[in-house]
């Protein structure tokens, strides 16, 4: 959270986290496509092969009011590939909330679990309390015929107590439900600090 009192702006950061190809960029693309241009900026995607350079997507939304301040939600994705750990750590810095995008395909559960574990490690390193930090879970690719049953997904990702959504982001299903719940959780958490 960063408040620019001069401009009356409340800057909030939400990171879409998860394994490679789970659908993080697809979420941002759908949000960008369906949000009126006066409420959003351009969708910026930075792609590089090198760990030293950041590799992410970025989209800014200006929606609602918090204590007379205009919230600017800065949405980021992280690169999912294991070797981009340093980028993920950097992108997570200063984040106010996370959307964890899990891939529902049975063959992707190990990647989901590894990604979930590294996310928790980064958050702990950065001094966050996992019990109170806003993490919203999106079980994506529910449209695929070999999607794991939801109960298996929940059990294998220790999401106890977390808000979870089913999604098919490529069709837009569940994308805005996930985003709204995350924005609300982030704003509720930030209000406690104001």
Ligand X SMILES: Nc1nc2c(ncn2[C@@H]2O[C@H](COP(=O)(O)OP(=O)(O)O)[C@@H](O)[C@H]2O)c(=O)[nH]1
Judged by CB under 5 A, the stretch of 8-16, 20-28, 158-166, 168-176 that binds Mg ion is 20-28
By CB under 5 A, is residue 29 in contact with Mg ion? no
3-class secondary-structure state, position 10:
strand
DSSP H helical ranges for 93-193? 109-125, 150-156, 175-193
Binder to Mg ion among 11, 22, 25, 104 (CB under 5 A)? Answer: 25
- 143 scored as a contact of ligand X (CB under 6 A): yes
Q: Does 140 engage in binding with ligand X (CB under 6 A)? A: yes
Options 18-26, 67-75, 106-114, 118-126: segment touching ligand X (CB under 6 A)? 18-26
21 near ligand X (CB under 6 A): yes
Cα 31 to Cα 162: distance, rounded to the nearest angstrom: 22
Q: How many CB atoms lie within 10 A of CB 53?
A: 10
Tokens of 186: 């982030």
Instruction: From the list ligand X, Mg ion, none, pick the one residue 20 interacts with, judged by a Cβ distance below 5 to 8 Å according to partner type.
Output: ligand X
Nearer Cβ to Mg ion (27/190): 27
Whole-angstrom CA distances from 185 to 12, 70, 135, 142, 145 are 12, 17, 8, 24, 32
Of these, 71, 80, 97, 134, which contacts ligand X (CB under 6 A)?
80
- Over the window 165 to 194, marking each residue x when it contacts ligand X by CB under 6 A and - when it does not, the resulting string is ---xxx------------------------
When the beta carbons of 25 and 182 are compared against Mg ion, the nearer one is: 25
Verify binding: residue 118, ligand X, rule CB under 6 A.
Answer: no
Q: Report the alpha-carbon distance of residue 96 to residue 68 in Å, rounded.
A: 19
CA-based nearest residue to 1, from 137, 94, 104, 128: 94
Footprint of ligand X (CB under 6 A): 18, 20-26, 77, 80, 140-141, 143-144, 168-170
Footprint of Mg ion (CB under 5 A): 24-25
């Amino acid at each position: 959270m960063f408040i620019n009192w001069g401009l009356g702006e409340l800057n909030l950061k939400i990171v879409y986290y998860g394994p490679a190809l789970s659908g993080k960029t697809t979420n941002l693309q759908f949000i960008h496509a369906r949000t009126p241009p006066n409420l959003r900026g351009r969708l910026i995607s930075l792609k590089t092969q090198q760990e030293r350079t950041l590799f992410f997507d970025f989209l800014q939304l200006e929606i609602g009011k918090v204590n007379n301040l205009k919230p600017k939600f800065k949405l980021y994705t992280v690169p999912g590939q294991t070797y981009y750990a340093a980028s993920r750590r950097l992108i997570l810095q200063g984040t106010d909330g996370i959307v964890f995008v899990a891939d529902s395909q049975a063959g992707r559960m190990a990647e989901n679990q590894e990604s979930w574990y590294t996310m928790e490690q980064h958050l702990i390193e950065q001094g966050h309390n996992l019990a109170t930090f806003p993490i919203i879970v999106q079980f994506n690719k529910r449209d695929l015929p070999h999607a794991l049953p939801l109960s298996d997904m929940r059990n294998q990702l220790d999401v106890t107590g977390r808000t979870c959504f089913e999604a098919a982001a490529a069709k837009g299903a569940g994308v805005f439900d996930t985003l709204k719940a995350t924005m609300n959780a982030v704003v509720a958490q930030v209000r406690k600090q104001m």
